[in-house]
Amino acid sequence: MGAGGQAELDLERFLPYRLSVLSNTVSAKIAAHYEKRFGLSIPQWRVIAVLGRFPGLSQNDVAERTAMDKVQVSRAVTALVRAGRVRRVRDESDGRVARLELAAAGHTIFNEVVPFARALEDRLLAGLGGNELAALDAMLKRLSQAAAAL
């Protein structure tokens, strides 16, 4: 207990805070690279990345796979459609649903960004050895499962 009998929270050691700060720092650094080199925001890159791997998703599907809110996805998709990087295709079985796929310009960016993203990831993880990387992966999986169960 702290002064006056209040509970204390050492924020610098509180895991949710530390993960949030780390995530925000990494995202901001990567966003600067994506913006400078490709003219993409992080939400736009996430849309391109998920559609590059899973073409034909709806906007709601993209939101679920990227853990972004629907407004972020909508804005990113609108900008990407305007830029000719993504196109909407009517779902043949349900005309109310638009499926998203990369246009030629989107495929070009996807093919350029993927190696660039991997190089940034390599730089981020360069200080960790093989055993540490495997342990980190296992811990992240367990933490994701625990978070989903909260």
Give the tens place of pLDDT for each residue, 33-60.
Answer: 888 888 999 899 999 999 999 999 999 9
List pLDDT tens digits, range 55-97: 999 999 999 999 899 999 999 999 999 999 999 998 777 777 8
Question: Cα dist. 46→5, 31, 43, 62, 107 in Å?
Answer: 46, 11, 5, 9, 13
Tell me the C-alpha distance between 150 and 142, whole Å. 13
pTM of the model: 0.78
Q: How confident is the model at residue 5 (pLDDT cuts 50, 70, 90)?
A: low
| Element (DSSP H or E) covering residue 47 | helix 42-53
Q: What dotted CATH number matches 36-117?
A: 1.10.10.10
Two tokens, residue 115: 């190696």
Q: Would you list the domain boundaries of the chain?
A: 36-117
